[in-house]
Amino acid sequence: AQSVAQPEDQVNVAEGNPLTVKCTYSVSGNPYLFWYVQYPNRGLQFLLKYITGDNLVKGSYGFEAEFNKSQTSFHLKKPSALVSDSALYFCAVRVVYGNKLVFGAGTILRVKS
């Protein structure tokens, strides 16, 4: 079965420092991986996706993610964190059969000034 794991409930980082939010996946076949962000009392916003090709994917708001097939990981990164990046982040994988996304448990990112 397709699944993703986010091993950290919360990540704390100082403003201006690089940030990483971790995600590992388990899929049969080629993975279709996504990152979403959710601000309080809002819907989810799409950040980026990996379908095929270059292992470094660039997305919205300066975020990028690195796909690593050998480690089955898809970590979200940003070179310099902003206080406004503080939010709930979800990694997700597309289920091959059926039009479904399977989400990780989510990681709260707190950026302190």
Part in contact with other proteins (CB under 8 A); list of ranges 11-19, 61-69, 72-80, 102-110: 102-110
Q: How far is CA 40 from the centre of its chain?
A: 17
For residue 85, give the DSSP letter: G
SS3 of 95, please? coil
Contact status: 113 vs other proteins (CB under 8 A): no
Nearby residues of 90 by Cβ (< 8 Å), 6 or more positions away: 6, 35, 36, 37, 38, 44, 103, 104, 106, 107
Kindly tell me which residue out of 65, 74, 90, 111 binds other proteins, with binding defined by CB under 8 A.
90
Under rule CB under 8 A, residue 53 binds other proteins: no
Among 14, 56, 83, 105, contact with other proteins (rule: CB under 8 A): 105
In the complex, the residues that contact other proteins under the rule CB under 8 A are: 32, 34, 36, 41-46, 49, 51, 88, 90, 94, 96, 98-101, 103-106, 108
